[in-house]
């Protein structure tokens, strides 16, 4: 196989990576500092003077971190006691070994994917070093706010699921396929709502998600929904009563996007297209809005106790599915490492083996796409399978809106047509892909 292309990096002046490291990441750090500052009283009420001291120390570590980033200082090893530290520090050594003798990995010179993940891990390290606020999620407030901002859209989806799919058992194949396509698209466009692209500013779903699907169709650049349908319906037809069909969803953002994923999961289970759904979330706060176990549990509780009866019914059903073991939540440190997914089999063999049990893995969002493709300067027409670089645990697909400079699997000329007409097509979140790889 031909060598892989170079990684996207801040050293490419004028690129989105450069702009992100120069402007967006410092902005996110400033917001984190501001959040800690605003919660000072809360820390005092909970922990007394110790809380205030911890808040001050954390802020001073984070201000130093922002300065290191802005002045392109060398990246330093992590030094807290969490189990992922050896893997992070080996990765730093590996990056060091790629350079000439006296160069050192640094914020603008090293791969963008690496330094961006590193920033979120350093934010976590700053907190870990400062008990009693060491398990404080600095992004929690923004995630909760965005959930409530999307309330109407969430109600619309829960109502749709409960009302339209009451008779799901009576749907014929064509109708079932239509519903699947609809909810795949809802989940795809749910990925517009992440808070890292907007540096934590409100980016919630306001419009009715189901009504806009037809208009959005033209913005899907790769549409492999037919392949997903064939895989699922064939597996349903072949399945004996004791067999399992398992779909894994590698989650992205909490809030509205998570609801779209839960709705999709509920549909897949109720239609009996699948028998088990396995969600994968993050172990630490990540890329502002990514889903942690706390976010997942909080979301289910919010729905259960909501005033709207469709919302609460969804919440009850999902809680029931979790209890029955047909909806399972997992987390793993691999998801918050900087590694490309092609190294999962070596770095996180247990996770790779777990994913091999799946019939279909759905990777949500932009960051997962970057990790699937290694965040490299691929030509637009390179096949998705090639860009996966031997990462094939099971058939997989990506549901992702474009928010960074990598896209593969396009038709000749398809990407080029935007380069002059719409220069920000890859970063504005307006376009999306449903991209499938059979993995064989
Ligand atoms: O900040 C860069 C980035 O990785 C973008 O690629 C994207 O905007 C965002 O962070 C993460 O997006 P998502 O939540 O879809 O993974
Ligand atoms: Mg995200």
Is the Cβ atom of 203 under 6 angstroms away from ligand 1?
no
Which pLDDT value is given to residue 200? 55
Is the Cβ atom of 365 under 6 angstroms away from ligand 1?
yes
Which pLDDT value is given to residue 79? 95
Residue 197 pLDDT exceeds 60: no
* Ligand having the closest approach to the CA of 401: 1
Other beta carbons within 10 Å of 13: 10
100 is written with which tokens?
A: 């000439």
**Ligand 1, pocket-test mutation among 113, 192, 335, 404, most atoms within 8 A of CB:** 404
Gap between the Cα atoms of 110 and 188, Å rounded:
30
Span from the CA of 342 to the centroid of ligand 2 (angstroms): 20
Residue 252 pLDDT exceeds 60: yes
**pLDDT tens-digit profile of 113-172?**
999 999 999 999 999 999 999 999 999 999 999 999 999 999 999 999 998 888 898 999
Which pLDDT value is given to residue 202? 58
How far CA 251 is from CA of 187, 230, 283, 354, 380, in Å, comes to 11, 23, 12, 16, 25
**Ligand 1, pocket-test mutation among 22, 287, 363, 400, most atoms within 8 A of CB:** 287
Pairing type for strands 276-281 and 327-331 reads parallel
Please report which confidence band the pLDDT of residue 3 belongs to, taking 50, 70 and 90 as the band edges: confident
Residue 440 pLDDT exceeds 70: no
Over residues 246-253, the mean pLDDT reads: 98
Span from the CA of 41 to the centroid of ligand 2 (angstroms): 29
Write down the ipTM of this complex.
Answer: 0.96
Is the Cβ atom of 271 under 6 angstroms away from ligand 1?
no
Please report which confidence band the pLDDT of residue 317 belongs to, taking 50, 70 and 90 as the band edges: very high
Which pLDDT value is given to residue 194? 65
Is the Cβ atom of 287 under 6 angstroms away from ligand 1?
yes
Q: What percent of the chain has pLDDT over 70?
A: 96
**pLDDT tens-digit profile of 178-195?**
999 999 999 999 998 766
- Three-state SS for the chain is CCCCCCECECCCCCCHHHHHHHHHHHHHHHHHHHHHHHCHHHHHHHHCHHHHHHHHHHHHHHHHHHHHHHCCCECCCCCCCCCCHHHHHHHHHHHHHCCCCCCCCECCCCEHHHHHHHHHHHHHHHHHCCCCCCCCCCCHHHHHHHHHHCHHHHHHHHHHHHHHCCCHHHCCHHHHHHHHHHHHHHHHHHCCCCCCCCCCCCCCCCCCCCCCHHHHHHHEEEECHHHHHHHHHHHHHHCCCCCCCEEEEECCECCHHHHHHHHHHHHHHHCCCCCEEEEEEECCCCCCCECEHHHHHHHHHHHHCCCCHHHHHHHHHHHHHHHHCCEEEEECHHHHCCCCHHHHHHHCHHHHHHHCCCCEEEEEHHHHHHHHCCCECCCCCCCHHHHCCCCCCCCEEEEEECCCCCCCCCCCCCCHHHHHHCCCCCCCCCCEEEEEECCC
Residue 231 pLDDT exceeds 60: yes
Which pLDDT value is given to residue 101? 81
Please report which confidence band the pLDDT of residue 88 belongs to, taking 50, 70 and 90 as the band edges: very high
**pLDDT tens-digit profile of 399-433?**
999 999 999 999 999 999 998 899 999 999 999 99
Burial class (CB in 10 A: 0-12, 13-18, 19+), 10: buried
Span from the CA of 194 to the centroid of ligand 2 (angstroms): 6
Please report which confidence band the pLDDT of residue 348 belongs to, taking 50, 70 and 90 as the band edges: very high
Gap between the Cα atoms of 279 and 27, Å rounded:
30
Peptide bond into 181 cis (omega under 30): no
Residue 196 pLDDT exceeds 80: no
The residue contributing the CA closest to ligand 1 atom 8 is 197
For 434, phi then psi, to 5°, come to -120, 95
The residue contributing the CA closest to ligand 1 atom 2 is 197
**Ligand 1, pocket-test mutation among 197, 261, 406, most atoms within 8 A of CB:** 197
200 is written with which tokens?
A: 């934590």
166 is written with which tokens?
A: 């009451």
Is the Cβ atom of 375 under 6 angstroms away from ligand 1?
no
CB 375 within 8 A of CB 111: yes
Residue 205 pLDDT exceeds 70: no
Which pLDDT value is given to residue 78? 98
Is the Cβ atom of 253 under 6 angstroms away from ligand 1?
yes
Q: What percent of the chain has pLDDT over 90?
A: 91
CB 248 within 8 A of CB 362: yes
Which pLDDT value is given to residue 102? 86
Which pLDDT value is given to residue 53? 98
Atom of ligand 1 minimally distant from the CA of 16: 2
Residue 387 pLDDT exceeds 60: yes
Is the Cβ atom of 366 under 6 angstroms away from ligand 1?
yes
Please report which confidence band the pLDDT of residue 211 belongs to, taking 50, 70 and 90 as the band edges: confident
Which pLDDT value is given to residue 420? 86
CB 197 within 8 A of CB 403: yes
Please report which confidence band the pLDDT of residue 198 belongs to, taking 50, 70 and 90 as the band edges: low
Nearest to 221 by CA among 364, 371, 376, 380: 380
Stretch among 206-215, 333-342, 378-387, 394-403 having the lowest mean pLDDT: 206-215
């Amino acid at each position: 196989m031909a060598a892989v292309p170079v990684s996207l990096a801040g050293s490419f002046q004028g690129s989105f990576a450069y702009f992100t490291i120069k402007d967006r990441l410092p902005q996110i750090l400033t917001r984190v500092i501001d959040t800690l500052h605003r919660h000072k009283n809360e820390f005092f009420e909970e922990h007394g003077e110790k809380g205030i001291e911890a808040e001050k120390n954390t802020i001073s570590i984070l201000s130093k971190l922002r300065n290191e980033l802005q002045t392109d200082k060398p990246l330093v090893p992590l030094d807290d006691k969490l189990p992922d530290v050896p893997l992070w520090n080996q990765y730093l050594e590996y990056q060091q070994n790629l350079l000439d003798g006296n160069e050192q990995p640094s914020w603008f010179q090293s791969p963008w994917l690496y330094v961006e993940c590193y920033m979120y891990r350093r934010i976590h390290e700053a907190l870990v070093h400062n008990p009693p606020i060491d398990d404080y999620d600095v992004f929690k407030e923004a995630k909760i706010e965005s959930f409530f901002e999307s309330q109407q859209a969430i109600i619309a989806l829960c109502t749709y699921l409960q009302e339209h799919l009451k008779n799901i058992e009576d749907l014929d194949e064509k109708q079932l396929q239509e519903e699947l396509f609809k909810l795949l698209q809802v989940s795809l466009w749910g990925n517009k709502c992440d808070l890292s692209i907007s540096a934590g500013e409100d980016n919630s779903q306001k419009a009715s998600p189901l009504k806009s699907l037809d208009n959005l169709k033209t913005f899907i650049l790769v549409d492999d929904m037919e392949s997903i349908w064939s895989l699922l319906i064939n597996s349903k037809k072949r399945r004996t009563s004791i067999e399992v069909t398992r779909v894994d969803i590698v989650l992205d953002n909490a809030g509205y996007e998570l609801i779209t994923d839960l709705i999709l999961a509920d549909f897949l289970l109720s239609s009996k297209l699948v028998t088990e759904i396995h969600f994968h979330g993050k172990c630490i706060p990540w890329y502002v809005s990514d889903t942690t176990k706390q976010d997942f549990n909080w979301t289910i509780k919010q729905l259960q106790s909501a005033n709207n009866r469709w919302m609460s019914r969804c919440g009850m059903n999902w809680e029931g599915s979790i209890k029955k073991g047909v909806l399972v939540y997992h987390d793993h440190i691999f998801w918050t490492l900087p590694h490309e997914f092609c190294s999962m089999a070596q770095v996180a063999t247990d996770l790779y083996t777990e994913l091999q049990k799946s019939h279909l893995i759905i990777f949500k969002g932009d960051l997962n796409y970057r990790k699937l493709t290694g965040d490299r300067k691929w030509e637009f027409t390179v096949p998705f399978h090639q860009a996966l670089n031997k990462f094939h645990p099971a058939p997989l697909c990506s549901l992702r809106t474009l928010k960074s400079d990598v896209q593969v699997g396009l038709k000749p000329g398809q990407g080029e047509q935007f380069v002059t007409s719409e220069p920000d097509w890859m970063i504005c979140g307006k376009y999306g892909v449903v991209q499938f790889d059979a993995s064989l």
